[in-house]
A and B are shown apart, each in its own frame.
Chain A
C-alpha cells in the first residue's frame, strides 16, 4: 500500500543570500490513509515549517512531497486545497478579526463554487459542537476554545481528506483541550480523516497518534510508535530527555 502523504528529504531555507536559515533539512516520513501521525520536537525545530511546506506556504529548497502518490504542483492547485487543510497554532491569530464566523466559513465555499453553502455551514458548525447561535458572531465574541473550533470547522468545510494540525490545543486550558481532542478523535473516525499533528506535549501525541516523528534542529531524530513511546523505548538521547522532561520540573 502506498502512503497518502509521502515526504522525502525535505529541506526548507528561509531568507536571502546573506542570512540564510536552514529551518528543515532531510526530513522524510510517510503517513498512511486514515492514520494519525505526530510531529514532536524542540521549539523552533521546524515542525510548523514542515506543515507550511506541505501547504506551499514555505519555500522548499530540496526534496519531494507526494500526496496520493502524486507530486504536488507549485503553486498548489485548487484541488489540493480541497484535499488538504490546516489548523493553525494560535486560535487568536488565525481568524480574521473583522469577519463574522459566517463569512469565515462561507468564503472557502464561494471560492470553490459549492452550491449548498447554507447547509454546509450549518453542518460544519454542528460538527464542531457550536450551535447556530455562533454563526454571526465576530471572533472577539468567542473564547479561545470556541475560536479553535471555528478554525477546525473552517478546515473541515471543504471536506478534505487530510488535516494538518499545528498545536491545536497548546493555547487552550485542560478542560477545553480535552473537548477539542475528543472532537478531533470523533471526526477522524466519522469521516475517515488522516491527521498530521504537531504538538510539544507528548501526552497529547500519545493520546492522538499511532506513530510519531521526533525532530530537533530541523532534522529527524527518530520515529516511534505509540507503544514504543508508552514503553519509554527511545533509542535517541533527545527523545529520552523529552520523556524525562514530560514528568515535570525537578529542582536542581
Chain B
C-alpha cells in the first residue's frame, strides 16, 4: 500500500474492522499531537532519553563506574576528550549521565506502572460506589496526601533501607494519592451518565462497568497527570539520591551525582551542573509532552 492510501485507510469515515477503527483513532490523536510543536520537542527529549538508555554501552566513550588515572584525569574541565569533564574519581561525566538515563527511565517507568493502576483503582472504585466505600478509601488517600511527599518517601526508605529499588517503591507509594483523587473526581462526573445506566441495564456487573466504561474515560486525564508528574518523580528520585538514600555509589544516578559534585561547586562547576542540566532537560521534556497530551486527550475537547 502506498503512503496516500494507508492514510486514507486510517482516516476512513467508515472503518471496516475493529482494528481499523482503533488504528484510525490512534492516528487522528497522533496527527493532532504532531501539530503541537512544543509537545513534539518534549516527545523528542523523551525518545532521546529512551534511546540513550538502550544504547548506553555504545554511546558512552568511557566506563561509567571505573575512572581513569586519578593523578592526571581528576576534575578535568569539559573538552573534546571528555565532553562534560570528569569528576573527582576521574570518571567521565558524559558516560555517567548516559548510563544514569537507565536509572532515571527505570524509576519513571516503574513508578508509572505501580502508581497509576493503584490510583485509578482506588479512585474509580471510591467514586463509583460512593457511600462508605468512598469515605474509607478517600480517608486513606487523605492520610497519604497529608504528608509531604519527600518526607514520606524518606520515612519509607529509612524503614526499608537505602537503595534504588526501595526508593522506587517509596516514590510509587507516595505518588498514587493525587491520581486517586483525580480519578474519583472524574468518576463522579461519569457515574450518573445515561451510558452507565444503559450498560447496567444490560446486566453488566460493577467490575465490568468500572473497568470497561469508567476507567477508559478517566485514563486520559490520569495519563496526562502522570506525565506532568514525571518531572516531580525524577526530582524526588534525585532528591533521595542527593540525600544518599536512593541509588548508592558508585551507581551513576543523576541526583547522587549532584550531591557528590556539591563539594567542588565553586571551583569545578561542571561536576554538579551537568547532571543538573540533564535532570532539567528531561523534566522539561515530560512536562511539554504532558501539556501536549492534555490538549489531545482531554475528553471534554471532543464530543
Contacts and interface: CB of A to CB of B under 8 A. Distances in A.
A98 B215 CA distance: 11
A92 interface: yes
B218 to A, nearest CB: 11
Nearest to B197: A57
A102 B216 CA distance: 16
Interface string B212-235: 110011000000000000000000
B97 to A, nearest CB: 40
A158 B202 contact: yes
A29 interface: no
Interface string B287-302: 0000000000001001
Interface string A79-108: 001100110111011111111101000011
Contacts of B15: 136-137
Contacts of B199: 96, 107
A232 interface: no
A86 B198 contact: yes
Contacts of B14: 133-134, 136-137
A140 B202 CA distance: 22
Interface in A45-98: 52, 55, 57, 78, 81-82, 85-86, 88-90, 92-98
A81 B201 contact: yes
B143 interface: no
A136 B18 contact: yes
Contacts of A251: none
Nearest to B212: A107
B17 A137 contact: no
Contacts of A220: none
B213 A96 contact: yes
Interface in B187-213: 193-195, 197-204, 208, 212-213
B303 A92 contact: yes
Interface in B5-22: 13-18, 20-21
B25 interface: yes
Nearest to B15: A136
Contacts of B200: 57
A166 to B, nearest CB: 9
Contacts of B202: 81, 85, 107-108, 111-112, 154, 158
A33 B198 CA distance: 24
A116 interface: no
Contacts of B18: 100, 102, 136
B300 to A, nearest CB: 10
Interface residues on B, range: 20 to 34
A122 to B, nearest CB: 13
A107 B204 contact: yes
A141 interface: yes
Nearest to B17: A136
Nearest to B303: A140
Nearest to B302: A140
B195 A94 contact: yes
A238 interface: no
B201 A89 contact: no
A138 B21 contact: yes
A111 B203 contact: yes
Contacts of A111: 202-204, 208
B132 to A, nearest CB: 14
A98 B21 CA distance: 11
Contacts of B217: 97-98
A24 B156 CA distance: 55
Contacts of A86: 198, 201
A29 B17 CA distance: 46
A141 B193 CA distance: 20
A97 B299 contact: yes
Given A137-B13, A137-B14, A138-B21, A96 B203 contact: no
B194 A93 contact: yes
B198 A100 contact: no
Contacts of A90: 194
Interface of A: 52, 55, 57, 78, 81-82, 85-86, 88-90, 92-100, 102, 107-108, 111-112, 132-134, 136-138, 140-141, 151, 154, 158
Interface of B: 13-18, 20-21, 25, 193-195, 197-204, 208, 212-213, 216-217, 299, 302-303
10 contacts: A55-B201, A57-B200, A90-B194, A93-B195, A98-B217, A99-B213, A136-B16, A136-B18, A137-B21, A140-B303
Given A100-B18, A132-B16, A136-B18, 14 more contacts: A78-B203, A82-B203, A85-B201, A86-B198, A88-B194, A96-B199, A107-B202, A107-B212, A136-B17, A137-B14, A140-B303, A141-B13, A151-B198, A158-B202
